[in-house]
Each structure stands twice: as C-alpha cells, then as structure tokens.
C-alpha cells in the first residue's frame, strides 16, 4: 500500500545504491499490477500533481522503486549517459505511459477482445527491440534442484530502460482480466488498479488516500443531515 512520502530533508536529495534520488520520495504502488503502477507514476495524492517520471533522474528513481531494473544496471546507465540523454528517455517513457493510459481507460471494465490486438502495435514495436537472454544461476529458494534459469537483459543504452516497462505492459494486456481494471472512485483521483479482492468490491486506490476521505465526507453529510 502507498505510504506518504517522507518529509522533505535539507536539500531534498538523498542517495540510495549510489543513485541520486529524485525529490518526489516514495512512488505509488497500489495498482496490483506493474503495468498499472506505471500509469500511476503520475498522480495527485494531495493538492498538487506529482510526476515521478518528470526527468531522467525521476525515471531512474521510479524504475528502482518499481524493481524493474537491477540497481547495478541503473548505476551503469546513469554513469554512461550523455548529457540530456536520460531526460529524452523519460520523455519517451511519458509518451508511452499516456498512450497506454488511453488504451486502458478505453477498454477497462470489460474483457479485452482479440480485435484490440492491432491497437497494441506500438507496444509490439517496443518489444521487438528487447535484448533478453537466459542465464543458469544457483537456485535461491529452497527448491529440490540446485539450478535455475534466470531471464536477463542487455543494458546497452539508456533506451533499454523502456524495455522492462514494455514487458510489464505486455504482460498486463496478456494476463490481466480487463473487467477487473478499475479507476479509483475518489472525485479527483486518477489512480487505476486491478481489483483482485475476493468480492470484487474494491473502490479506492487505498484507504489511506481516497477511502478515508470518502468516509469523512459521508460522515460530514450525515452530521449535516442531523442538524436540519
């Protein structure tokens, strides 16, 4: 569940794993699907809108928080990037995000149909650029067999940062039931989530954000009604 960002420190920047963190603090991960969390990387948790991917640094920070890119790869890409290069990739990430938001908003609330496949062509073009490979590694979990096949990726340029995002979006359209994709009912909230609750009765991005606000509003309405 989403937690409020920590109070702003002196210069608003801190380092974690050698990466200068963006000033925006904790991003929002309430989508219950990485593809939706990507759409939720711009949101209005309080009075003002925060875009966690508003710059190259923001993109690195968000990818790190989302665990989509290993810390070593983020560090290497950051060290090798030319001036302005990461900001341009962040631009592309925002374009991808808003294109995908249009797709999800248009089709959410009912099963996704095969006829929609052609609309996903831009995503297929991104996936074509992927450079994945496998590596045999030691099994981390307590499994009966000692070895595991791990999916890896070449990180040859900052552009590669878009590939795990593309993979998350592709997994989302291929594995998620679009009938369960909902927009938070908060009046000014833009957050999206997949409702995986048993009763399919989830209405809010989170109780901490919109759920409690709605409860308080209902309480105020009841008080007012009693006074009249």
* List of residues contacting Zn ion (CB under 5 A): 184, 186, 189, 191, 205, 209-210
Give the shortest CB-196-to-Zn ion separation in angstroms: 17
If DSSP codes are grouped into helix, strand and coil, which group holds residue 10?
Answer: coil
- Quick one: CA dihedral 106, 107, 113, 116, positive or negative? positive
Burial annotation 154-178 (CB, 10 A radius, 16+ → b, else e)? ebeebebbbbbbbbbbbebbeebeb
192, β-bridge pairs: 183
Give the shortest CB-121-to-Zn ion separation in angstroms: 31
- Between the CA atoms of 57, 58, 60 and 66, what dihedral angle is there, to the nearest 10 degrees? 170
Give the shortest CB-9-to-Zn ion separation in angstroms: 27
CA 24 to chain centre: 14
**φ and ψ of 102, to 5 deg:** -60, -45
Compare residues 60 and 191 and give the one whose CB is closer to Zn ion. 191
Compare residues 39 and 191 and give the one whose CB is closer to Zn ion. 191
Compare residues 40 and 65 and give the one whose CB is closer to Zn ion. 40
Q: CA angle, corner 169, sides to 61 and 114, nearest 5?
A: 170
Q: Judge whether 212 and 45 are in contact, CB under 8 Å.
A: no
Compare residues 164 and 186 and give the one whose CB is closer to Zn ion. 186
Compare residues 66 and 205 and give the one whose CB is closer to Zn ion. 205
Give the shortest CB-211-to-Zn ion separation in angstroms: 8
Give the shortest CB-184-to-Zn ion separation in angstroms: 3
């Amino acid at each position: 569940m989403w937690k409020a960002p920590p109070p702003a420190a002196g210069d608003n920047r801190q380092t974690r794993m050698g990466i200068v963190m963006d000033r925006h603090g904790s991003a929002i991960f309430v989508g219950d699907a990485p593809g939706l969390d990507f759409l939720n990387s711009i949101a209005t948790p309080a009075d003002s809108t925060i875009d966690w991917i508003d710059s190259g640094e923001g993109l690195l920070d968000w990818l790190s928080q989302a665990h989509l890119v290993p810390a070593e790869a983020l560090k290497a890409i950051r060290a090798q990037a030319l001036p302005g290069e990461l900001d341009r990739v962040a631009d592309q990430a925002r374009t991808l995000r808003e294109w995908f938001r249009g797709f999800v908003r248009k089709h959410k609330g009912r099963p996704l149909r095969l006829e929609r496949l052609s609309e996903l062509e831009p995503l297929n073009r991104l996936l074509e650029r992927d450079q994945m490979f496998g590596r045999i590694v030691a099994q981390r979990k307590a499994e009966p067999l000692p070895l595991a096949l791990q999916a890896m990726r070449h990180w040859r340029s900052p552009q590669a940062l878009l590939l795990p995002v593309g993979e998350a979006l592709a997994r989302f359209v291929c594995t998620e039931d679009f009938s369960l994709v909902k927009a938070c009912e908060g009046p000014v909230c833009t957050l999206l989530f997949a409702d995986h609750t048993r009763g399919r009765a989830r209405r809010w991005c989170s109780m901490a954000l919109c759920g409690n606000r709605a409860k308080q509003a209902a309480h105020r309405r009841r008080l007012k009604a009693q006074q009249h």
